[in-house]
Amino acid sequence: MLKITILLLGLFWCLGLWIEGREAAKSRATLRHVVHVNGTRGKSTVCRLIEAGLRAGGLRVFCKTTGTDPMTIDVSGNEEPLRRRGKANIKEQVGILRRVVVLLDVNKEPEEMVELVNPEVIEQKGSERVVEGCLSVPGVYGYVTRPTWAKIRAQDRFGNWFEREGEGIVAQCFCHETEHLDGHLFTEKVEEYIDPEAMQGGDEE
């Protein structure tokens, strides 16, 4: 009898999740425009800035932030904290239809900000062992192997597809950031970790 009760409770729970997901999808379909903000740090701040700007322009805006303290901001500007099941996780970004990253191409003269929507590394050549770090894991550094040259395919903000090549640190950024959008951190590729203090000491010498 206990097993049957547990099974029924599980079925009702799954049914409730399915109904909730369907209703959420129906509600979302009524929205004329949806803006996704992706990245490793500062997403909530960017969301708030966009929300404030659109609201100041007279538009009705509903905003949802993620991160450590997720919350919603309704069309009246009221904030409501969200209860999270578990800790914040970069994999919340997986499955977003518009995956966006902005990086600085230091190989250009002058340096150029590059907007990449739905980027994908389609070709790479060479390899080099480089030191990487990430704001998602502050204070952690390590050696990883990256290509010396890479080609990326992406869309611009208007949906037009283009390809772009990069060498050295730009190729490294292409790979690092696109992996982020797929829910991966550089720590999955670390071959040898580095003591930050020892590294700083080496730089000073």
Question: What per-residue string of b and e applies to 114-147 under the rule 16 or more CB within 10 Å gives b?
Answer: bebbbbebeebeeeeeeebbbeeeeebbbebebb
Please give the biggest Cα pair distance in the chain. Answer: 74
Tokens representing residue 68 in the block = 């450590």
Tell me the residue type at 111: E
What pLDDT is stored for residue 203 in this prediction? Answer: 40
Per DSSP, the three-state class of 108 is coil
Tokens representing residue 52 in the block = 């404030």
Residue whose pair of structure tokens reads 């009705």 in the numeric block: 60
- Residue-wise pLDDT for 162-181, tens only, equals 999 999 999 999 999 999 88
Active site residues: 177
pLDDT means over runs of 10, the chain (205 residues): 80 82 76 72 79 84 78 84 66 60 86 89 95 87 95 87 93 92 88 81 41
